[in-house]
Structure 1
Amino acid sequence: MVTEYIPSLAKFYLNSYNNFTINNMSYIFQDWKRNNNNTKGKIITSLFRLAHTISSKKYLKYILFPYLLFYRFFVEWLLGIELPWHTKVGSGLIVYHGQSIVVNKNSIIGYNCTMRQCLTIGNAKKNGKSPTIGNNVEIGANVCIIGDITIGDYVTIGAGSVVVKNIPPHSIVVGNPARVINTMS
């Protein structure tokens, strides 16, 4: 009975590994095209995607737990980027000048978003809700996006802005507190 169990367990892990590698290799490198000449951005996004994949599958989380520790040490402590592996991030993420970036794990970031240095995306109070950022959003340097707010699609947030209210789609936003200065059509 034990000898029958071992091969089936081995087959399960082998099939799981094959499915992981075949189906998720494109997932792990999905941001490379948009980070064309940005080596640091490619490294950060690939490490994030791999950690996200590992943490989403219970058996991989236990087997590859050392990688998750490596991710936390390398990306968070050495590079200074707190992008938790549980964060929901759409494809096409660009990270320019990746340093001093803090993203709450409950934040949701859409497709084709651009992040720059000294960025904070998080909740306004302990256990509060986090922002939802739409698709094709450009976020400038030294921006704070705080609270239970929604940033619409195709929004550009200027450097140094503090966003604490909802932003409609197709807007350009600047200032502290952030205000819409232009609406694109």
Structure 2
Amino acid sequence: MVTLYNFIRQDFPANSENTKGKIFGLFFRLSNFHSRNIALRALLSPFRVFYKIFFEWIVGIEIPAAAKIGAGLTVYHFPGIVVHRDVIIGQNCTLRQATTIGNKTDNGRCPVLGNNVNIGANVCILGDITIGDNVVIGAGSVVIKSIPSNSVVVGNPARVVKRVNIDQTVIEEVI
């Protein structure tokens, strides 16, 4: 069984030097735990209200409390991060400012992101696509097609420019 203490601390190691990320992670995980656990809803309701008002309305991070996001979430540079409630994000994902992840059409399907995805600033990831593991998405990219694992992508529309090993050594330059 996952304890509340372990659940809310799951993003701390990824944010060891990022105090803002730790604070956001703490409140996101409290709200996320609230949405999963009926027994604690009354106890955690004040955190949910605080999360919604402070982080979504004031700070500008719209990541729904019910979002499915793996451990190790890192959020840098707060304003303008929007994640649709149906997006699935794997472990060790990094989000930066002005990032949108969601559907392309009303009631459309949303992206699924693998583990170890590093997303640059001003990125849009839209539609029924899959982003593989160990992917780096360059700043300003618009991703509307699935991206294979171990890739570096840039541009509008985004295209693969490198294929890399897990340790980031280059396998192939596609440019």
Scaled by the length of structure 1, the TM-score of the pair is 0.86
- Highest CA radius of gyration, 1 or 2? 1
Residues 131-179 of structure 1, C-alpha deviation per residue, up to 9 Å, x if partnerless?
A: 0000001000000000010000000000000000000000000000000
- Residue 59 of structure 1 aligns with an amino acid whose one-letter code is A
Residues of 2 paired with 1:149 and 1:34: CA distance? 26
Does 1:177 find its partner at 2:157? yes
Residues of 2 paired with 1:148 and 1:53: CA distance? 26
What residue in structure 1 maps to residue 135 of structure 2?
155
- Residue 169 of structure 1 aligns with an amino acid whose one-letter code is S
Q: Is the 2:80–2:98 Cα contact (8 Å) retained in structure 1?
A: yes
Scaled by the length of structure 2, the TM-score of the pair is 0.91
**Structure 1 moving runs of 4+ over 3 Å:** none
Give me the CA root mean square deviation: 1.3
What residue in structure 2 maps to residue 15 of structure 1?
none
What residue in structure 1 maps to residue 95 of structure 2?
115
Aligned residues: 165
Shift of 1:112: 0.6
Does 1:94 find its partner at 2:74? yes
What residue in structure 2 maps to residue 138 of structure 1?
118
What residue in structure 2 maps to residue 84 of structure 1?
64
Higher helix share: 1
Residues of 1 paired with 2:60 and 2:18: CA distance? 17
- Residue 37 of structure 1 aligns with an amino acid whose one-letter code is E
